[in-house]
Structure 1
Amino acid sequence: MTALAIENLSHGFGARRALYDVNLSMEPGSFTVLLGPNGAGKTTLVSLVTGLYSAQQGDIRIFGHSIRRDPLPALASLGVVFQMPTLDLDLTVAQNMAYHGALHGLSRREGMERAGKELARLEVSDRQGDKVRALSGGLRRRVEIARALLHRPQFLIVDEATAGLDVAGRQLLLTHVRSLCREGLSVLWATHMLDEVEPADQLVVLHRGSVRWTGEAREFAPGQTLEAAFLQLTRSPS
């Protein structure tokens, strides 16, 4: 069973088409980079996979469950970090985590035990009593990833979570999330940053709403740099 299967997916906003006949699949436990320039349609795709939008055409299945026909088990398996921050700035880190745990039916005790473990793995357990407003952008992103993992999802979706972070902060997040794949988590990592792609990653290149290439990242640019191949592909007039 695939972690994610997208078939003939198209979506638009009024007269503007954001996605055109997108097809892709992800294997369980894979780290898949959804790579594309700004405006490629990455966030629209994430919004459709996470159920924020209802697809106008096509089907999305998460571990075999169609979002259109069987949304509850499909969406229950997801953990999501959206492009726009979603933490409550006036609550503490612990309060944000407790609220998320309650939404997923966890008791306060179990929720806080899990929160402590996830925050410790991201080196922010010492900030649980701080209001989110007092945290740097990088620390907030760490908290968002810890929160997304609190209910132990099978599939983590991360949309441009490292934008605006320094190199060390970006590397910490990437290293941590990649390590989770070795524990069986499936990850879809949406980004426009080429240096976040590693050769062993599964790669999907999205441009102007269409999938232009998919496969193992090391096979994307034989004989040239990743940057050169990406620019060549995304500069094409088609």
Structure 2
Amino acid sequence: MKKIILCAFVPALFACQAVNASEGAVKYACQSNKSLKVSYRFNAQGLPTQAKAFINGKQRVLPINLKRSNHVDTIFGQEGGYVLAAGYLDKKNYKHSSVLLTSPNNQILFKNCSAIQAAAPVKKTKRKAAQKPAKIGKVYYACQSGKGISVTYHFNAQGLPTLAKAYIKGRHREMPINLARSNHVDAIFGRQGGYVLSSGYLDSSNYKKSSMLLTSPTNEILFKNCSVK
């Protein structure tokens, strides 16, 4: 009876987590040749309720963070603990997700993690379109700790992102779309060893609703929990 009552108070997106749960596991290939295996638990609606992973010698259970998850991003764990961030994730697409995992002190433990099963061929036509944007859009993000940053996105004729530009640490930085790591769930700009901007799936029709995270060449988180203002 208590489970039925509690379900009425949880947003419909993640309602009734305890009913008819199912699980699925994904192995990720991450930066610096690291690997990470994550087991996800889903409710009857196919929406995630928790993530489990073996981190720093222990099995960690990260409950879904309902306050920070939405139709663009899925966040597991709470501030002050281990946090796993992914693009929108459900039972149908979790094997195609990419993730980032941080420690309780905000250290990036696993970065640029892509599901091994998600490898997909890259079309050369997208690379050519990146040179001449068909559309340009600018977004201002309000981030954690009172920070803010403006990002300009370039899109090709199909409305897909090709480039992100931002003023970072005294210089204008250009971060080309990373086709090897971007998919229908996540959009990643920049390369390993440089500035990297990570967001949920992004195109010319939804970029003003995106949220993102920006890291430095040394994996330092520069802008975190950034939402469009």
Measured against the shorter chain, the TM-score band is 0.3 to 0.5
The structure richer in strand per residue is 2
| Higher normalized contact order (CA 8 Å, seq sep 6+, divided by chain length) | 1
The structure richer in helix per residue is 1
